[in-house]
A and B are shown apart, each in its own frame.
Chain A
Amino acid sequence: GNSVTQMEGPVTLSEEAFLTINCTYTATGYPSLFWYVQYPGEGLQLLLKATKADDKGSNKGFEATYRKETTSFHLEKGSVQVSDSAVYFCALNTGTASKLTFGTGTRLQVTL
């Protein structure tokens, strides 16, 4: 079956630090990959996506590259801000009603 593994949190960084959140997956077929972000008290919002190998998704300074050879989709940002504090979820789908499989989430806290 499909599965997504994310690095454990919480991750605590100072403002302007470099961020990496690791995500690896196992899947049958050719999945589409997503990063979602959840701010406190809210639902999940799409941050970025990639639908095929070597695609790079980007949004709001965040980037992730679909690496088929390493089955990874690591999230990066060059300079984090306090406003980036949230929980980040890696997810995949492989068709069949487009059911998403989520990782367990990584909480990011950015301090001044």
Chain B
Amino acid sequence: NAGVTQTPKFQVLKTGQSMTLQCAQDMNHNSMYWYRQDPGMGLRLIYYSASEGTTDKGEVPNGYNVSRLNKREFSLRLESAAPSQTSVYFCASMTDFNQPQHFGDGTRLSIL
């Protein structure tokens, strides 16, 4: 009954540090997504993976990289964190067009 699981739930980094946000889904979904949520801006797509083995840029990809490790897992990496990347990050997955995306509970990331 897990759905989409994100780790960690909270993280504080210093400017210039790197880290990887992990996401895993157990629903056998084909597509996976990474969003960031900032006050007054809704959710913005960072990267997505339409199927295992493919990744593409979304609306705000600069400063991020992703890896679709297998069908279940899709990670987001910050190579050199900047204060502008302070945000709440959400992972989502979906099976087919017109079906809803299922979201994880988010990772709250602060960069000092």
- By a beta-carbon cutoff of 8 Å, the part of chain A in contact with chain B is 4, 32, 34, 36, 41-46, 49, 51, 89, 93, 95, 97-100, 102-105
Q: Is B4 an interface residue (CB 8 A)?
A: yes
Which residues of B lie under 8 Å from residue A44 when comparing CB positions? 43, 90, 92, 101, 103
Q: Is B53 an interface residue (CB 8 A)?
A: no
Task: Pull 15 A–B residue pairs with CB atoms less than 8 Å apart, ordered by A.
Answer: A36-B103, A41-B105, A42-B105, A42-B106, A43-B104, A44-B103, A45-B103, A51-B98, A95-B97, A98-B94, A98-B96, A100-B43, A100-B101, A102-B42, A105-B42
- Residues A97 and B103 in contact in the complex (CB < 8 Å), given A32-B98, A44-B90, A102-B43: no
A93 touches B106 (CB 8 A): no
- Residues A89 and B98 in contact in the complex (CB < 8 Å), given A43-B90, A97-B31, A97-B48: no
Residue of B nearest to A44 (CB): B103
Measured in the bound complex, the distance between the Cα atoms of B99 and A51 in whole Å is: 9
Residue of A nearest to B49 (CB): A97
B31 touches A103 (CB 8 A): no
B100 touches A99 (CB 8 A): no
CB distance from B52 to the nearest CB of A (A): 13
1/0 per residue, CB under 8 A from A, across B27-53: the answer is 000010100000011111100101000
Measured in the bound complex, the distance between the Cα atoms of B56 and A36 in whole Å is: 24
Which residues of A lie under 8 Å from residue B43 when comparing CB positions? 44, 89, 100, 102
Tell me the residues in window 63-88 of chain B with beta carbons closer than 8 Å to chain A beta carbons: none
